[in-house]
Amino acid sequence: MTQTLDSISSEYFSKILCCYVNTTDKTQIVRIANIPNWYFERVVFPRQRLLFESLPQAQLEIHTGAFVNAILSDKISCLRLLVNGSSSILTQLK
């Protein structure tokens, strides 16, 4: 199921399609908090795939553990999560 909640404002022109897969056996909370005026947060269950639109400069934070004391376990550039076929957007950015 695709969700388009909390979509990026139309003022941003360089949106990219990203995919993150939780390859662990733990529930994770992923969020993007480094884009002004936009906050993205989702729960990703074990082995679940998450497709989302983002900006190239966004950083996806991965929080793993219990909901009460989740630990920031990784930060991934959204450019590394770029879905194949979205690369034409990058040529427009250069």
Share of residues in the chain with pLDDT > 70 (%): 72
pLDDT tens digits, one per residue of 4-49: 445 565 555 688 999 999 999 999 999 998 998 888 999 999 999 9
pLDDT band at residue 54 under the 50/70/90 scheme: very high
Q: Give me the residues paired with residue 31 across strands.
A: 41, 61
Residue ranges with strand state E in the chain: 16-21, 28-32, 40-44, 49-54, 59-64, 71-77
Predicted local distance difference test score (pLDDT) of residue 88: 47
Q: Is 0.75 topped by the overall pTM?
A: no
Residues ≥6 apart with Cβ < 8 Å to 61:
30, 31, 32, 33, 72, 74, 75
Q: Are 83 and 56 in contact (CB under 8 A)?
A: no
